[in-house]
Structure 1
Amino acid sequence: MKYNKIILAGGNGYLGQVFAEYYHNLATEIIILSRKPAASQGNITTLVWNGVDEGEWSKSLDGADLLINLCGKNVNCRYTAKNKAEIIASRVNPTILLGKVIAKLQNPPELWINITSATIYRHAEDRPQDEETGEIGYGFSIDVCRQWEQTFFETSTPQIRKIALRMGIVLGSRDGAFPRLLNLVKFGLGGKQGDGQQYVSWVHEQDAAKCTEWLLQHKELSGVINCTAPEAVKNTTFMKLIRNAYGVPFGLPSPAWLLEMGAVVIGTETELILKSRWVAPKRLVDSGYSFIFPRAEHAIKDIISIAN
């Protein structure tokens, strides 16, 4: 095994499963910190925590190679006052807790990665937003990212390297955004959303996992890093690529007014669909990282081939 121990805080969700599978044959032990107990699966063990209080789980971080924090309430909801408070607390509180525990360890993890969001950048249709020249946006979702990253970097853990990994939309067949978009295509509703000119910054789930190992190996990297494929595409193109890959010749478009009505009905926000996220992974590319799926067309074909 290449690694001793990998810790996935809040790793019982979709992306946590992707990471656990990736490291399954690379690490002696994988520990998932979850609010719900789960049976062990080979070298994957789940320890119960509440994301607020220290406990027996705290000892598991000692001697770990890598800690990845994936905690956070799903933002796919209406931004009511209650949901806003829960969204922020579910990200900030576990980050504070992990920092307190790490500060007490004799052998803290070599690297701590917080999975944050590429949505922190402004609505961009004019140029890509990278780590050096990107401009931070405004609004609630951006405020969440600001508070989250500020808490992360202000946590006093001088012994370890820290990276805020600003993740784009993760594409996979099991969960996340892609199965929902594919369902729209299947029912003839896979046309452009809004005017279709908003950019989609995405990353294949295999690259989302692989790049964390790259960051672990490259000790010169720290701070903010974008995790998106180098090819962002416009929504109208993205939906067309899904239709072509699935073999559906047409898709009804969804104008902005219809999306707003639908968002109210299903309990979400249109910002998640209509905001233009044009994000570039400059630091990953400059460090020599080679994407498994740099192009959206190939990533979509791969996912659909697995889903069918």
Structure 2
Amino acid sequence: MSDSPEVAVSPLVAEPKPPVGVDPTRASIARVYDAFLNGKDNYAIDRAVLAQVQEHMPTAQELAFENRGFLTRACRFLVLEAKIDQFLDLGSGLPTAENVHQVVQRINSEAEVVYVDNDPVVLAHGRALLEANEHCRFIAEDIFEPKAILSNEVITRKIDFTRPLALVQSGTLHHYSGPKDRPAQIMREYIEALPSGSFVVLSHFFDPENEYSSTARDAEQAFLHSPMGSGTFRTQAQLLELFAGLELVEPGLVRCADWWPDGPRLRPLTAAQRCIAGAVGRKP
């Protein structure tokens, strides 16, 4: 995924020397997400995005935590109940606890996982992490270009498109900054290429069109006008367009926090928890 234009920032603390090819003065989607998750692989420019969004949505970090929890539960369901043994994770981001391969290979040690990202920090970390895992690969491609992904030599070698697979778009499409109708087109291209019985896991920033809508739109403007420059919140109807041709697994398209939670809810949802949604769809 691409970065935003250069913005000068003077870090408040000494920053580690960046890896080759990494510009610490430009916000990175992967590093901003890492900052939201309280990670350490980010720079002052990335933390500035978090601070800017928090001005409008103080609980903004829960966007990332709910997204990660949904992804974990969805992948666990697919490998355990649906018996899916190959996963294509698009825009995977920096390695954190409970990556897709950790979730699924804990249940099926031979499950194949291919991660796709084009952030240089992500690639460096990912390839180092997976060096000894023969059932994982990390490749550099633009996830918003389905033709390039679907023809990639590593993907076509590791993923068998004659058998059901899981395609993961977790917290990615809200960072597409081109034409507004393009995300639905991107998903149509991917879904058309999937064999019958495949699944799509997708989460996205959400405008609930209720009393929390203004908070969602304020956060959207904060994202769009931050050094990162992306972060679109879509409505229920707009998100359903991304699942065209799929049958949604119960409970359908819901807030990430409501997709098969691990236990009873003891506290009311925060604004951020109400503003990110997800679903799992199956191709007939």
TM range (shorter): 0.3 to 0.5
* TM-score, normalised via structure 1 length: 0.36
Bigger RCO (CA 8 Å, 6+ sep): 2
* TM-score, normalised via structure 2 length: 0.38
- Bigger Cα Rg: 1
